[in-house]
Amino acid sequence: MPAIRVRGLRKTYGELAAVDGLDLTVEDGEVVALLGPNGAGKTTTVEILEGYRSRDAGTVEVLGFDPQTGGRAFRERIGIVLQDAGFEDTFTPRELVRLHAGYYPHPRPVAEVLTLTGLDEKADARVRTLSGGQRRRLDLALGIVGGPEMLFLDEPTTGFDPSARRRAWELVEGLRALGATILLTTHYLDEAEHLADRVVVIDHGRVVAEGTPDELAATAGAATVISFRVPAGRTTADLPSLGLERRVAGSVVEVRTETPTADVATLATWALEHGEELEALTLTRPSLEDVYLDLVGDEAAGPNPAGPDPAGPDPAGPDPAPAGPGPAPVVPAPPAPADPSVEAPR
């Protein structure tokens, strides 16, 4: 039985379909990253899976429970790191972790959780004196203290310094090694690439692509780039026909190709036949970032596509207030307009 099975999930706010017929399966023990631009519906989906929001349509099973009706038996088996949990400022991390440990039948030791999340030094400081990144670590500590089988991480490392991020990654890897299933949302593509077995890209409340980063690269058709220096005394006119598109910058040639093996063979054969050495020859595979930008394009770099919500806040009862606009996406702007030095394929 998969850990998560979602079919035809829908959640609307007035006219806006925040989640619009979403299907998702997460196998037991799998780490899956949800990616997508601001407002794509990631948090709404995750909060429905956690039992924090109601749904309008679709079936949802998490560890065999319907999160809406799973109650305590369900909540004891999951761990949650929300985007913006909000703490009682006058408590200390040690007190809060101990308090939360009391909610679970088989919690992890409090001291271990504080160490794992790098909070030893701040364990007895008032929460109001913690930095943003330290509060986020506390979120993480509260998410794992119950020893969850299924962990939901909503942008778990936003605001972390690089070493805290590495540490959080190690923590997630450790939890995975213990057999936990993990669903995380992130805007850091390197985080998804590093942690996730599988990536699911969401846009406008639907899944637009899913697979391992390698599979995504293959299906999205993002091209590999072959780069090399034109041998001294030669010009680009001497080169064999290669790839889809060429860029020339000084003596460096970059060729975009969807058939890298054949093109490298053609290029190497040409060089050997002419007794040339191809200096600075490199092959760059498309990164998850290239693939992501191919899929969601400009939206990922817009000012705030989630924008003001025409539907206004959800008047419905138990759902929490909408999450804040969230941090700016870390994906860079899409490529600049066509470079005049780009040549048509020959």
Ligand X SMILES: Nc1ncnc2c1ncn2[C@@H]1O[C@H](COP(=O)(O)OP(=O)(O)OP(=O)(O)O)[C@@H](O)[C@H]1O
> Under the rule (CB under 6 A), what is the footprint of ligand X?
13, 16, 18, 36, 38-44, 306, 309, 311, 313-314, 319, 322-323, 326
Query: In the complex, what is the shortest distance from the CB of residue 335 to ligand X, in angstroms, rounded to a whole number?
Result: 22
| 79 three-class SS | strand
Query: In the complex, what is the shortest distance from the CB of residue 333 to ligand X, in angstroms, rounded to a whole number?
Result: 17
Treating both helix axes as pointing N-terminal to C-terminal, what angle do 162-177 and 132-144 enclose, rounded to 10 degrees?
10
Query: In the complex, what is the shortest distance from the CB of residue 328 to ligand X, in angstroms, rounded to a whole number?
Result: 9
Query: In the complex, what is the shortest distance from the CB of residue 301 to ligand X, in angstroms, rounded to a whole number?
Result: 13
Question: Residue 262 has which token pair?
Answer: 């054949």
Treating both helix axes as pointing N-terminal to C-terminal, what angle do 132-144 and 93-101 enclose, rounded to 10 degrees?
20
Which residues are 57's β-sheet partners? 10
Residues whose CB falls within 8 Å of the CB of residue 173, separated by 6 or more in sequence, listed in order = 195
Q: Which CB, 297 or 313, lies closer to ligand X?
A: 313
Q: Which CB, 16 or 85, lies closer to ligand X?
A: 16
Q: Which CB, 155 or 254, lies closer to ligand X?
A: 155
Pick from 56, 57, 58: nearest CA to 4: 58
Question: Which string of DSSP letters, residue by residue, matches 253-279?
Answer: EEEEES-HHHHHHHHHHHHHHTT---T
Query: In the complex, what is the shortest distance from the CB of residue 166 to ligand X, in angstroms, rounded to a whole number?
Result: 23
Q: Residue for token digits 């050997």? A: 272
Distance CA 227, CA 256 (A): 9
Q: Which CB, 102 or 317, lies closer to ligand X?
A: 317
Distance CA 191, CA 317 (A): 35
Q: Which CB, 218 or 306, lies closer to ligand X?
A: 306
Q: Which CB, 283 or 306, lies closer to ligand X?
A: 306
Query: In the complex, what is the shortest distance from the CB of residue 38 to ligand X, in angstroms, rounded to a whole number?
Result: 3
Query: In the complex, what is the shortest distance from the CB of residue 205 to ligand X, in angstroms, rounded to a whole number?
Result: 7
Query: In the complex, what is the shortest distance from the CB of residue 340 to ligand X, in angstroms, rounded to a whole number?
Result: 35
Q: Which CB, 221 or 313, lies closer to ligand X?
A: 313
Residue 329 DSSP one-character state: P
Q: Which CB, 40 or 153, lies closer to ligand X?
A: 40
**What strands lie across the sheet with 206-211, from one edge to the other?**
78-81, 150-154, 181-185, 31-35, 198-203, 206-211
Q: Are strands 4-13 and 16-26 parallel, antiparallel or unpaired?
A: antiparallel
Type of residue found at 307: G
Query: In the complex, what is the shortest distance from the CB of residue 12 to ligand X, in angstroms, rounded to a whole number?
Result: 9
Q: Which CB, 126 or 204, lies closer to ligand X?
A: 204
Q: Are strands 150-154 and 78-81 parallel, antiparallel or unpaired?
A: parallel
Residues whose CB falls within 8 Å of the CB of residue 272, separated by 6 or more in sequence, listed in order = none
Q: What beta strand segments (E) does 180-251 contain?
A: 181-185, 198-203, 206-211, 224-229, 245-249
Give how far Cα 61 sits from Cα of 24, 26, 193, Å.
10, 10, 26
